A and B are shown apart, each in its own frame.
Chain A
Amino acid sequence: DIQMTQSPPSLSASVGDRVTITCRASQDIRNSLAWYQQRPGQAPKVLIFDASTLQSGVPSRFSGSGSGTDFTLTISSLQPEDAATYYCQKYNTGLFTFGPGTKVDLK
């Protein structure tokens, strides 16, 4: 099975900071990767799919890049409402595994 890892497990940043989260797959998954945001007490919400395509309605400060095994989610200017846990998810095969998550806190 393909394993998904994320780094860092958590980070603390200030409003306006650029934030980068990394997701790595143990095998090539092409661009079959999505990113989700989960705010405390809420269900997850998809931000990006196909590694770099912004889901409708998601602010443009979110962007994704990468292909193969290494992927990045970037928040260009962190906002208070971005305090959340972020998960990657692969879908290249019928095993729809999530990464372990990265918790983003505000300083």
Chain B
Amino acid sequence: QLQLQESGPRLVKPSETLSLTCTVSGDSISSSSYYWGWIRQSPGKGLEWIGSKYYSGRTYFNPSLMSRVTISLDPSNNQFSLKLSSVTAADTAIYYCAKQEAIAARIFDFWGQGTLVTVSS
């Protein structure tokens, strides 16, 4: 069974870079069948897709965040990561990593449990 687990600092200072890692077990992130994505949810709000990356390197980004987002794959550790630069309080959210189907319906079918990241000095 595929499992994903987010990890990283829970508190980030304004203007700094938020960094999260998602560790995948049960399948390879080098698979040609999947994207690997990040979605966030501000407290009490809806889901906001951040970006998705394919094993080949092709990456899709939410245009509203694109200038601040980097998504990387680390096949040697079966992990992928998110970096969000120049954070403000508006970036306080639960951050989810997820596996996304790449062949047909590009749905997010496996999710991590999510990790709350707070931006505060």
Contacts and interface: CB of A to CB of B under 8 A. Distances in A.
Interface residues of B, number: 22
B106 A44 contact: no
Q: Looking at chain B's contact residues, is the secondary structure mostly helix, strand, loop, or mixed?
A: strand
B52 A34 contact: no
Of the four ranges (under 10, 10 to 19, 20 to 34, 35 or more), the interface on chain A belongs to 20 to 34
Q: Looking at chain A's contact residues, is the secondary structure mostly helix, strand, loop, or mixed?
A: loop
B105 A34 contact: yes
Contacts of B63: 1, 95
B47 A46 contact: no
Task: With a 10 A CB-CB cut-off, give which of A36, A96, A101 has the most chain B CB atoms.
Answer: A96
A36 B41 CA distance: 14
Nearest to A35: B107
A44 to B, nearest CB: 6
Interface in B93-121: 96, 100, 104-109, 111-114
Interface of A: 1, 32, 34, 36, 38, 43-46, 49-50, 53, 55, 85, 87, 89, 91, 94-101
Interface of B: 37, 39, 46-49, 52, 60, 62-63, 96, 100, 104-109, 111-114
